[in-house]
Amino acid sequence: METNKVTGNDSKQYIVVTLGNEQFGINIQYVDNIVRMQRITRVPKAQSYFKGVINIRGEIIPVMSLRLKFGLEPDEINNATRILIIKLEPQAAIGIIVDEVKEVVTISDDNVDKIASSANDEKASYLAGVGKHGDGLISLLNLSAVIIEKEVDGK
Amino acid sequence: MDVSQYLEIFIDETKEHLQSLNEQLLILEKEPENEDTINEIFRSAHSLKGMAGTMGYKRMQRLTHDMENVLSEIRAGKMKVKAELVDVLFKGLDALESYLNSIVTSADEGTEDNEDIIKNLNRILDEGVKAFTQDASEAKEETSKPVVSAAAIATATAKESAQADIALADHELRAVEKMTQEGGHAYSLTVYIQESCILKAARAFLVFKALEELGDIIKSKPEVQDIEDERFDLDFSVVLLTKESISKVQKVVTGVSEIKDVDISEIIVPQREHKDETASETEKQEQKSLSKDSYNAKSAAAAAKQKETAKPVVNRSVRVDIEKLDDLMNLVSELIIAKNGLVSMNSTETKSDSMGGFNEQIEYLERITTNLHQSVMKVRMVPIESVVNRFPRMIRDLSKKLDKKMELYMTGEDTELDRTVIDEIGDPLMHLLRNAADHGLESNEERMKLGKPEVGSIFLDAYQEGNNVVIEVRDDGSGINVEKIKRKAIDKGTITEEQAAAMTDKEIIDLLFRPSFSTAEVISDVSGRGVGLDVVKTKIETLGGSIETKTVLSKGSNFIIRLPLTLAIIQALMVELGSEKYAIPLGSIETIENVATKEIKYVQSKEVIHLRGNVIPLIRLNKILDVTENTKETDDLTIVIVKKGDKLAGLVVDNLIGQLEIVIKSIGKYINNSKMISGATILGDGEIALILDVNSLV
**pLDDT above 50 for B282:** no
Rg (CA), chain A: 16
pLDDT (average), residues B308-323: 47
> Looking at B90-94, B299-303, B334-338, which range is the least confident one?
B299-303
pLDDT in tens, B492-525: 777 777 777 777 777 788 777 776 665 554 444 4
The overall pTM is greater than 0.80? no
pLDDT of residue B132: 61
Per the model's pLDDT, the better-predicted residue between B539 and B268 turns out to be B539
**pLDDT above 80 for B528:** no
Residues B458 and B404: their CA atoms lie apart, in Å, by 12
Rg (CA), chain B: 33
Mean pLDDT score of chain B, rounded to an integer? Answer: 75
| Cα B553 to Cα B180, B405, B453, B477, B510, distances in angstroms | 64, 20, 17, 9, 16
Q: Of B627, B667, B687, which has the smallest distance from its Cβ to A39's Cβ?
A: B687
**pLDDT above 90 for B574:** yes
Q: Domain A11-154 belongs to what architecture?
A: Beta Barrel (2.40)
pLDDT (average), residues B521-547: 66
Q: Is B184 exposed, middle or buried (0-12, 13-18, 19+ CB in 10 A)?
A: middle
pLDDT of residue A123: 66
pLDDT of residue A63: 92
Nearest to B4 by CA among B43, B77, B57, B66: B57
Tell me how far apart the 2 most distant CA atoms of chain A are, in Å: 48
pLDDT (average), residues A51-75: 86
pLDDT band of A5, cuts 50, 70, 90 = very low
| Cα B286 to Cα B185, B271, B293, distances in angstroms | 18, 10, 10
Q: Of A147, A148, A155, which has the smallest distance from its Cβ to B672's Cβ?
A: A155
Q: What are the residues whose beta carbons fall under 8 Å from the beta carbon of B181, sequence distance 6 or more?
A: none
Q: What are the residues whose beta carbons fall under 8 Å from the beta carbon of B499, sequence distance 6 or more?
A: none
pLDDT (average), residues B637-658: 87
pLDDT band of B641, cuts 50, 70, 90 = very high
For chain A, domain boundaries: 11-154
pLDDT in tens, B552-561: 887 888 888 8
Cβ pair B676, B693 in contact under 8 A: yes
pLDDT of residue B673: 66
pLDDT of residue A153: 43
Which residues in chain B have their CB less than 8 angstroms from residue A61's CB?
Answer: 668
- Paired residues of B409 in beta bridges: B459
Give catalytic residue positions of B: 46, 68, 435
pLDDT band of A152, cuts 50, 70, 90 = very low
**pLDDT above 50 for B688:** yes
Interface test with B, best of A32, A36, A42, A153 (most B CBs within 10 A): A42
pLDDT in tens, B424-479: 888 888 888 888 888 788 888 888 888 888 888 889 998 877 667 889 988 888 88
pLDDT of residue B143: 40
| E strand residue ranges, B194-309 | 215-221, 235-242, 259-266
pLDDT of residue A120: 58
> Rounded to 5 degrees, what are φ and ψ at B169?
-75, 165
pLDDT in tens, B202-214: 777 778 777 777 7
> Rounded to 5 degrees, what are φ and ψ at B579?
-105, 5
Most confident of B1-15, B503-517, B534-548: B534-548
Q: Of B627, B667, B686, which has the smallest distance from its Cβ to A53's Cβ?
A: B667
Contact A53 B580 (CB under 8 A): no
**Around Cβ B571, how many Cβ atoms within 10 Å?**
14
pLDDT in tens, B421-433: 887 888 888 888 8
Helix (H) or strand (E) holding B311: none
Which residues in chain B have their CB less than 8 angstroms from residue A43's CB?
Answer: 667, 671, 673, 677, 690
pLDDT (average), residues B335-359: 71
pLDDT of residue B237: 81
Instruction: List residues in chain A touching B: CB distance below 8 A.
Output: 39, 41-47, 50, 53-55, 58-62, 64, 92-94, 147-148, 151, 154-155
Cβ pair B553, B530 in contact under 8 A: no
Which residues in chain B have their CB less than 8 angstroms from residue A62's CB?
Answer: 667-668, 670-671
Q: Give 3-state DSSP helix, strand, coil % of chain A, rounded to 5.
A: 15, 50, 35
Closest alpha carbon within chain A to B664: A60
